[in-house]
């Protein structure tokens, strides 16, 4: 990519997050001072309903000083959420987004979308072409957001990745996660970040589907046994396929994950 093309992509990305933030009625800014990062650490603990801190202000201060991504989201002068990411190995040239969240009353208003677009612009400005993060594969709204709205793609299933977390969001179940990779200059990512609809991929004859419950979070709040059964069902469906090279081609709120088999050598998907 030429220098002019690179500058154009960065300018487009900057305009995209600024528009998304305005539509969400939020201000996004990098945090550096101890009071700011401590407030963000406290906000994360509040969002997750955890009995122990999710991150400490001291750690966030050090991460910010070291050049990591530490950003807060504000609305009406109140810190309503944020996002933290750090750099992966130099040879990978990717950013790992560790935690992102907004207060429950602000969910569904576009704050999370604005944060991801801001993170994309921040990464591109530093010559980073991909962002990776993990999410709970059972949470349908997060799967839809990551795959159908942003154009990120699951690449690995991680069994009980964080161990038992025992907070209001994760309950008392294993913390299985899916690692997704967001190639920031892919056609899907560019479309997602410029407001264009992502193309819908029609399932092939060999396509597989892995369904999800409509609302696993409500299920966890009402009865852990059924939630754990779904955990095993989704794990048994996704883990072997991803490990065998199947690719997630899309996500549907009703049908769940749409996976396609590995492409034979010499053929494009």
Q: What HEC string does 91-149 produce?
A: CCCEEEEEEEEECHHHCCCCHHHHHHHHHHHHHHHCCCCEEEEEECCCCHHHHHHHHHH
Query: Which range, of 26-40, 54-68, 191-205, averages the lowest pLDDT?
Result: 191-205
Is residue 143 one of the residues assigned to a domain? yes
Q: Any residues with CB less than 8 A from the CB of 172 and at least 6 apart, and which? A: 164, 166, 224
pLDDT value, residue 2: 63
Q: Any residues with CB less than 8 A from the CB of 77 and at least 6 apart, and which? A: none
User: Mean pLDDT in the chain?
Assistant: 91
Give 27-59 pLDDT, tens digit per residue: 999 999 999 999 999 999 999 888 788 899 999
Q: What percent of the chain has pLDDT over 70?
A: 93
Query: Which is higher by pLDDT, 185 or 165?
Result: 185
Is residue 145 one of the residues assigned to a domain? yes
How many domains in the chain? 1
Give 173-182 pLDDT, tens digit per residue: 789 999 999 9
Residue 61 pLDDT > 60: yes
Is residue 87 one of the residues assigned to a domain? yes
Query: Which range, of 67-81, 115-129, 219-233, 249-263, averages the lowest pLDDT?
Result: 219-233
Among candidates 113, 127, 109, which has minimal Cα distance to 10?
127
Is residue 243 one of the residues assigned to a domain? no
Is residue 93 one of the residues assigned to a domain? yes
Most trustworthy range by pLDDT among 9-13, 70-74, 106-110, 185-189: 70-74
* Average pLDDT for 59-88: 97
pLDDT value, residue 56: 95
Is residue 236 one of the residues assigned to a domain? no
Is residue 134 one of the residues assigned to a domain? yes
- Domain of 8: which CATH number? 3.40.630.30
The whole-model pTM stands at 0.91
* Average pLDDT for 155-171: 81
Is residue 47 one of the residues assigned to a domain? yes
Domain that holds residue 89: 3-203
* Average pLDDT for 104-128: 94
CA distance 133 to 182: 9
């Amino acid at each position: 990519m030429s220098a002019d093309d690179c500058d154009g992509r960065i300018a487009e990305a900057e305009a995209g997050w600024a528009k998304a933030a305005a539509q969400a009625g939020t201000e996004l800014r990098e945090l550096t001072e101890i009071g700011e990062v401590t407030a963000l650490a406290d906000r994360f603990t509040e969002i997750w309903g955890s009995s122990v801190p999710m991150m400490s202000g001291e750690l966030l201060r050090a991460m910010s000083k070291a050049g990591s991504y530490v950003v807060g989201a504000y609305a009406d002068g109140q810190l309503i959420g944020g996002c933290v990411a750090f750099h992966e190995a130099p040879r990978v040239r990717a950013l790992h987004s560790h935690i992102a969240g907004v207060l429950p009353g602000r969910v569904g208003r576009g704050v999370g979308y604005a944060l991801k677009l801001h993170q994309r612009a921040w990464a591109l400005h530093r010559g980073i072409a991909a962002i990776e993060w993990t999410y709970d594969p059972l949470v349908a709204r997060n799967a839809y957001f990551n795959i159908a709205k942003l154009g990120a793609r699951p690449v690995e299933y991680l069994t009980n990745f964080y161990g038992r977390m025992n907070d209001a969001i994760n309950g008392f179940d294993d913390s299985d996660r899916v690692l997704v990779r967001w190639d920031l200059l892919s056609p899907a990512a560019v479309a997602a970040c410029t407001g264009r609809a992502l193309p819908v991929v029609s399932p092939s004859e060999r396509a597989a589907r892995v369904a999800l419950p409509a609302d696993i979070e409500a299920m966890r709040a009402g009865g852990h046994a059924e939630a754990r059964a779904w955990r095993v069902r989704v794990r048994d469906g996704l883990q072997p396929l991803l490990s065998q090279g199947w690719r997630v081609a899309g996500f549907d709120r009703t049908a769940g994950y749409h996976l396609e088999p590995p492409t034979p050598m010499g053929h494009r998907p």
